[in-house]
Amino acid sequence: MRTFNYRRRKLVDQLMRGLSALATGCAVIPLIAIIGYVLTIGSGAMSWSFFTDVYQPPSNAPEATADAPAVAYDPNDPFANLTVEPEAGTTGSTEDVTNVYNASPRGGVLHGILGTLTIAGIGLLFALPIGIFAGIYLSEFRNERFATIVRFCCDVLSGSPSIVAGVTIYVLVVLQTQQFSAVAGSMALAILMIPIVTRTTEEMLKLVPETMREAARGLGAPTWYSTFTVVLPAALPGIVTGVMLAFARGAGETAPLILTVLGSNIISTDIFKPMAALPLLTYRYTESPYPGENTQAWGAAFVLMMLVLLMNILVRVATRKSGGNSR
Amino acid sequence: MAVRISIRTADYDVEGQMAQQSTPPQWSTGKSPLRHGDVPFRAGTVALASAVVLLVFAVAWMLYTSSQEARTAFGWDLLFGSTWNPVETELNPVSFGGWPAVRGTLLSALIALIIAAPLAVAIGIYLAELCPPVLRTPLSFLVELLAAVPSVIYGVWGVFVFVPFFSSAVAEPLSATVGAIVPWFAGPIATGRGLIVTGIILALMILPTIASLTRDVLRLVPNTQREAMLAIGATRWETIWLAVIPYSRAGIIGAIMLGLGRALGETMAATMLVGNTQRISESLFAPATTAASLVANELTNSVSSLHESALISVAFALFGITLFLNFGARLLIWFVERNTRGGRS
Amino acid sequence: MSAVVLQELTPFYGARQAVKPVNMTLASNQITAIIGPSGCGKSTVLRCLNRMHETIPGAYATGTVMLGAQNIYAPDIDPTMIRIKVGMVFQQPVALRTRNVYENVAVGLRLQGLSNRAELDAAVERALRSAVLWDEVKDVLDKPGTALSGGQQQRLSIARALAIEPEVLLLDEPASALDPIATASIEELLMTLKSRLTIVIVTHSMQQAARISDETAVFMVDVGAGQSIGELVEKGDTTQVFTQPNDPRTESYISGRVG
Ligand SMILES: Nc1ncnc2c1ncn2[C@@H]1O[C@H](COP(=O)(O)OP(=O)(O)O)[C@@H](O)[C@H]1O
Ligand SMILES: [Mg+2]
């Protein structure tokens, strides 16, 4: 009674296994290509001044026109010396990147690097207390009904598009104060960081064995004492990795910053004023009509990617070492 | 992306930790003020946890009230009206019809999903089930790393590398031949930016997300299910197709929904690649716009409070739909996990 | 029905050899029990008999296993073909989650391309009857397999294995997750099946081995040079192994446990 379709089954098996390997190859190649392009072209934009200098207007920019007046730098108007504010989508080079006409970049992105560290750093300051304490609440009082609500809200925050965080801070802060500012950007980033910090803290605290809490309780220690002296220190390495991931996520975000910090061409130390940021520079230089600035875009992308990838790799290496026996 | 991290519990010798406190600690003496720390402790954590809840309410409330003006003026036209014209001209009155943006969002996300979903599920299957053990860790690592690459970098690569390549290698030949008959592929190819390149780059961005989530849900399938299939003479593929995938179906759909949510809400890659025009063209090669890029481009330069309110309505809609998708997806994944933990086999 | 002959069978996990080369014959139409302390390689050897062992990443085996006239480790042999002839039941009862009771049994036949409903119905009923489950489930064939009790799920697993009419049935501690009543029904079932099949059962319960098996193989762990390795120390008629063991290690093992 065995109608034996052995050959066909073997063939299907081999075909489908081959296809899924092929699919993996096909998908991984362009993704690696992206990293490869950024690393090679971006590193080509590297020079000493790239890290030590700030924005310089293109050397052989077209002559000043009514649209693009060449103005001297005015500290009250950080964008005055940006010769042209390109209209998104209509400019930007679609030519081959190897066309190096006017391609030699001038100036650097120091202001962007400092700005990103500042904005994301302050964002983390906003996010940490909320995230860590909410995480402690979710872990140590995990069965309360309110915990479910908090967890749900975290999921809402982490799932909503980053532009929504930008719109929120734009309306609630920028419009209210009539001022784009680095702090506003930090607040927008904090909205995106909070769910990451909260959920990692929760997960890490939950991994601390119950026996440790019981041992502390057995000695009569109050919950708060055992949490701060026993549970939290035990989970600290894991929480730190979560914080690093949150920082990396915030540092790479662009859309919320467009609506909140605006950008700047100089190193700004006033966090209540617009500030530069690497992702913003990457975006604006990409849309720039000047090939020199397009090259800078690759350079800024390179630095940004290094920052984000290094954070992620560090986290992996740290967790791999400690999580080796996790299966 | 959440990461699975575990703590090496062996590092924390419970006995040792506690032994340090062999002298009676002060709280054990009964009336120590330390005893009363638990009330403020709980209150403090609750307060900061409430901040998370408040934040969500603040976002929702802000989106709701700030969009009110436009919503009362235009109603559903904000999403389905076909003309978006913030500035009055002789020919065109002011009008905020978001259909070009809604259409662009849906189409680009759809293109992304059609490309990414099957590929990503295949990658998830490969990583979880078929990959040689030596490749598994580095490949999984790579995929998770790619999920962390900022979207503006995908945008840079798209603008400088992919768009020129795609225009000359695909769009131009296709529009010159098929384009005459099929309006979707009609020329001319001007800047090369448009829905299809946006969709493809979005696909690349959501691939790692869907793939690593798929791998995670497949890993949750108990090995007993696989062995039961193998033991009756099933091939590897039959085991995957007939036991592993049906088992984790809900989780895979959840992973795809999360990817879709990300594609719908993605701002930077779309802003840089879609061309940003309110004109609706049938051709997928022509410039278009998306909801997120419309908001990013116009909100800071809005010309009137009505304009601003209309843009916030668009953001509101975006928030609503991603909320819905995420909620559905998490429900599905949660369902799978609960089944897996509670199940007997 | 054919006997199964192991010649110098040596299972490995990666570089680590799990069991010393095994030589023994498992007679047809008999129940052979494999007993021994935990970690001595019972499951490993059993899984070599239908080439399930190598589905674990890095695992492989050397030597030969003759099934009738066929060496199942010959290079041109496809393991899936062997698993059709040599069925297996695991320690943990398995109901395929997304399938109902009927499909849980029919799945092996469907794999082989059988789609005629009447034939399937007949085969499923036959398998369920052989597994002494038919009367309990004949009215709930369209219910999920996972809805059955543990003992029923284990008999469902046996039915699934029997449906494709194997020549040999391997069972790895099939009753260890079950209560005594379910255990008794499985044991009874095996006794009736041996007229049709060669049965090999791994068990940690010496009473169970003594109750149902015709022959018994005893494995031990040899802890030498820091590396523990499994070893077949004795194989023979069950009564003889339990009453007059040849090997002193068997003797102490049995007396230690049965006492
Ligand atoms: N998946 C595996 N990978 C590596 N070693 C294994 C694996 N399964 C079992 N072993 C090793 O093989 C030896 C025999 O195990 P097993 O056959 O399961 O013993 P038993 O079934 O007799 O308890 C043990 O030392 C065990 O550590
Ligand atoms: Mg075993």
Regarding predicted confidence, which is higher, B25 or A205?
Answer: A205
Which residue is listed with tokens 């990817």? B259
* CATH number assigned to the domain comprising residue A128: 1.10.3720.10
Q: Give residue for tokens 């020549």.
A: C167
Alpha-carbon distance C86 to nearest alpha carbon in chain B (angstroms):
8
CB contact under 8 A, C111 and A9: yes
> What is the pLDDT, as a whole number, of residue C82?
92
> What pLDDT is stored for residue A193 in this prediction?
95
The distance of C239 to chain B (nearest Cα, Å) reads 32
Q: Which tokens belong to A96?
A: 């081959």
pLDDT at B32: 53
Is A52 a member of any domain? no
Query: Does the residue A281 lie in any domain?
Result: yes
User: Does residue A195 lie in a domain region?
Assistant: yes
Closest CA to B156 of A63, A288, A191, C41: A288
Q: State the average pLDDT over residues A274-281.
A: 92
Tell me which residue has its CA closest to atom 7 in ligand 1.
C13
Write down the pLDDT at residue B17. 43
Ligand 2 centroid to Cα of residue C7, in Å, is 21
Q: pTM for this one?
A: 0.84
* Residue A106 belongs to a domain: no
Q: Which atom of ligand 1 is nearest to the CA of C221?
A: 25
User: pLDDT grade, residue A120 (50/70/90)?
Assistant: very high
In terms of pLDDT, which residue wins out, B330 or B42? B42
CB A185 within 8 A of CB A127: no
| Residue A2: band (very low, low, confident or very high) from pLDDT cuts 50, 70, 90 | low
pLDDT of residue C103: 94
Q: How many CB atoms lie within 10 A of CB A285?
A: 26
Residue A281 C-alpha, separation from nearest chain B C-alpha, in angstroms: 10
> What CA dihedral angle connects A54, A60, A62 and A64, to 10 degrees?
60
- What average pLDDT does this structure show over A63-77? 44
Q: A305 and B120 in contact by Cβ < 8 A?
A: no
What pLDDT score does B41 carry? 86
Atom 5 in ligand 1: which residue has the minimum CA distance? Answer: C13
Mean pLDDT of C216-233: 87
Q: C163 with C103: CB under 8 angstroms? A: no
Could you give the CA distance from residue B288 to residue B198 in angstroms, rounded to a whole number? Answer: 10
Confidence category of residue B170, pLDDT binned at 50, 70, 90: confident
CB contact under 8 A, B133 and C164: no
Instruction: Please give the average per-residue pLDDT across C45-67, as a whole number.
Output: 94
Has residue C259 been placed in a domain?
no
Ligand 2 centroid distance, CA of B225 (Å): 17
CB contact under 8 A, A167 and B152: no
Q: Is the pLDDT reported for residue A20 higher than 50?
A: yes
pLDDT at A96: 42
Residue ranges making up the domain that contains A231? 111-321
Tell me, what's the pLDDT at B237? 95
Token match 């992919």: residue?
B162
Give the 3-state secondary structure of residue C33.
Answer: strand
Phi then psi dihedrals of residue A202, to 5 deg: -60, -50
Question: What is the structure's pLDDT at B187?
Answer: 72
Q: Average per-residue pLDDT in chain B?
A: 84
Q: What is the mean pLDDT of chain A?
A: 81
Cα A132 to middle of ligand 2, angstroms: 44
Structure tokens, C162 = 């029997």
- Helix, strand, coil percentages, rounded to 5, for chain B: 75, 0, 25
Parse chain B into domains and list their residue ranges.
36-66, 100-339
Q: Would you say the C-alpha torsion B269, B271, B272, B275 has a positive or negative sign?
A: positive
**Looking at the partner chain, which of C90, C108, C111 has a beta carbon nearest the beta carbon of B227?**
C90
Among A141, A215, A287, beta carbon nearest to B42? A141
Q: Based on the structure, what is the number of domains in chain A?
A: 1
Residue scoring higher pLDDT (A132 or B330): A132
Segment B64-84 mean pLDDT: 89
pLDDT at position C255 is 80
The b/e string for C201-234 (b: 16+ C-beta within 10 A; e otherwise) is bbbbebebbbbbbebbbbbbbbeeeeeebbbbbb
Distance C203 CA to ligand 2 centre (A): 8
Which residue's CA is minimally distant from atom 26 of ligand 1?
A: C39
pLDDT reading at C216 higher than 60: yes
The per-residue pLDDT for B33 is 52
Atom of ligand 1 nearest to the CA of C36: 22
pLDDT value of residue B180:
77
| Any atom of ligand 1 within 6 Å of the Cβ of C61 | no
Which subunits have 3 or more CB–CB pairs within 8 Å of chain B?
A, C
Question: Per residue in C57-115, pLDDT tens?
Answer: 889 999 999 998 899 999 989 999 999 999 999 999 999 988 899 999 999 999 988 88
Element (H, E) at C253: helix C248-257
Q: What is the nearest CA distance from A165 to chain C, expressed in angstroms? A: 41
A103 within domain boundaries: no
What pLDDT shows up at residue B87?
82
A306 part of a folded domain:
yes
What is residue C1's predicted lDDT score, i.e. its pLDDT?
Answer: 60
For chains A and B, what is the number of CB pairs under 8 angstroms? 368
Measured over the CA atoms of residue C120, residue C126, residue C131 and residue C136, the dihedral's sign is positive
Range of the domain at C9: 4-254
Closest Cα partner for B85 from B75, B77, B76, B94? B94
Which CATH number do you get for residue C90?
Answer: 3.40.50.300
Could A3 and C78 be called an inter-chain contact, meaning their C-beta atoms sit closer than 8 Å? no
Beta-carbon separation of A6 and C81 below 8 A: yes
Q: Is the CB of C250 under 6 A from ligand 1?
A: no
Mean pLDDT of B146-173: 90
Point out the least confidently predicted range of A113-122, A260-269, C35-44, C186-195. Answer: A260-269
Q: Which of C213, C168, C165 is nearest to C187 (CA)?
A: C213
Give mean pLDDT, residues A104-109. Answer: 74
pLDDT (average), residues A304-318: 87
User: Across chain A, how many H-helices and E-strands are there?
Assistant: 13, 0
Give the model's confidence band at C127: pLDDT under 50 very low, under 70 low, under 90 confident, else very high.
very high
* Interface residue ranges in chain A relative to chain C, Cβ cutoff 8 Å: 1-6, 9-10
Whether the pLDDT of residue C249 is over 70: the answer is yes
Which of these CATH numbers, 1.10.3720.10, 3.30.540.10, 1.10.10.60, 1.20.120.530, describes B100-339? 1.10.3720.10
Establish if C118 touches chain A: CB-CB under 8 angstroms. Answer: no
Give the DSSP letter of residue A77. B
Count CB pairs under 8 A between chains B and C.
79
Q: What is the pLDDT of residues C190-200, one digit of tens each?
A: 999 989 899 99
The ipTM is 0.92
Average pLDDT, chain C: 91
Q: What's the total number of domains in chain C?
A: 1
Q: Do A5 and C113 touch (CB under 8 A)?
A: yes
Q: Cβ of B345 and C81 within 8 Å?
A: no
From the list C57, C97, C164, which residue is nearest B232 (CB)?
C164
